[in-house]
Amino acid sequence: MIRRKEIKNYLTPDAISQDIKFIADAMLGRLARWLRFLGFDTLYYSGISDSRLIRIAKEQDRFILTRDTRLIRIKGLKDYLLIKANDSFHQLLEVIDALKLKHFDLLSRCVKCNGRLSRIFDKGEIKDSVPEYVFLHCNIFLKCTDCGRIYWEGSHPKKFREKLGDILKFSNDT
């Protein structure tokens, strides 16, 4: 469990809503994908400098997720969580627990680029973009409004889908 005092300067747990936006440091690429999978607006750039990360967080009112103990010593830094777990799934559970996240919006955000997904109503539109089997057997398709990637039920890696039940159980327990 994460003690509340480890979430620095955040207003109150009640103030944290689904609208929270994140920026993850360069060590947390997989965590960023998990958060997007759950519908959270999460920026991630591999190789981002500390100063740029902090600047973007301030400008866009984003909550910083970091594994860098050096970064959190920077004077005046606020709204951050120091992530302790090594593997991405437990990192995700840390974030959910610390910020008391309960509302997830699956299939709303592109795991790859953080863009918004929009529903495709005319299946014919994506006929050439997905495997034939998928085209024939799936009826719900979504497209990233930024990078154009197509999603369908089951298109996320198997690991994501298997772990999903664990996440929902976890959020109900807390």
Q: What Rg value do the Cα atoms of the chain yield, rounded?
A: 17
Name the residue nearer to Zn ion (CB basis): 50 or 146: 146
Give the per-residue contact string, 96-135, with Zn ion (x = CB under 5 A; - = no): --------------x-xx-x--------------------
Minimal distance, residue 43 CB to Zn ion, in Å? 13
Count residues near Zn ion (CB under 5 A).
8
**Cα separation of 84 and 3, whole Å?**
13
Q: Quick one: 67 or 143, whose CB is closer to Zn ion?
A: 143
Helix ranges, 38-79 (H):
50-60
Q: How far apart are CA 139 and CA 28, in angstroms?
A: 33
In angstroms, give the least distance from the CB of 56 to Zn ion.
Answer: 19
Compare residues 2 and 150 and give the one whose CB is closer to Zn ion: 150
**Closest approach of Zn ion to the CB of residue 114, in Å:** 7
Residue 112 tokens read as 């790859």
Closer residue to Zn ion (CB): 140 or 147: 147
39-42 LR contacts (CB < 8 Å, sep 24+): 39/104, 39/105, 39/106, 39/108, 39/109, 40/101, 40/109, 41/109, 41/114, 42/114
Query: What is the contact surface with Zn ion in residues (CB under 5 A)?
Result: 110, 112-113, 115, 144, 146-147, 149
